[in-house]
């Protein structure tokens, strides 16, 4: 059986990146916000989706100075983490994107059309 677990997202960092250092490596956790255009009759222009991202080693270092609103492209795979809630004893789950490739795009925003704009133009184009 063949399967694919691949995610590619382009969005903005929701809050400042949280950094930790383990015995072996640096790790960064952040929330990436992506938006998609709403249906013409919707009450809002865009719908936002929030994605939990985990980056290790050099990828964690790449987002070290990122802050809220910075544009980032992330490629990786989905992983579901589980743990037991200490208060209730219930099993809890959280799906995260484990980054395998990461590009900070904020520097390019003022000088050239970003990939986000290109993708949005493609999405807005009629069939």
pLDDT in tens, 62-78: 888 888 999 999 999 99
Q: Is residue 105 part of a domain?
A: yes
Q: Is residue 2 part of a domain?
A: no
Quote the domain boundaries for residue 70: 7-124
Q: In angstroms, what CA-CA distances link 120 with 10, 31, 89, 115?
A: 10, 20, 44, 8
Number of domains in the chain: 1
pLDDT in tens, 28-49: 999 999 998 888 888 888 899 9
Q: Specify the pTM.
A: 0.75
For residue 51, pLDDT beyond 90? yes
For residue 55, pLDDT beyond 70? yes
Q: Is residue 79 part of a domain?
A: yes
Q: What pairing do the DSSP bridges indicate for beta strands 46-56 and 91-104? A: parallel
């Amino acid at each position: 059986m063949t399967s694919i677990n691949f995610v590619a997202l382009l969005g903005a960092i929701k809050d400042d990146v949280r950094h930790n250092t383990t015995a072996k490596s640096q790790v960064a956790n952040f929330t990436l916000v992506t938006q998609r255009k709403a249906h013409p009759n919707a009450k809002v222009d865009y719908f936002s989706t929030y994605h939990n991202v985990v980056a290790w080693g050099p990828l964690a270092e790449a987002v070290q100075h990122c802050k809220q609103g910075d544009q980032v492209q992330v490629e990786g795979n989905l992983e579901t983490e589980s743990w037991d809630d200490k208060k209730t004893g219930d099993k809890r789950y959280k799906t995260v994107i484990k980054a395998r490739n990461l590009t900070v795009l904020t520097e390019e925003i003022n000088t050239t059309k970003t990939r986000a704009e290109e993708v949005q133009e493609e999405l807005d184009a009629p069939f």
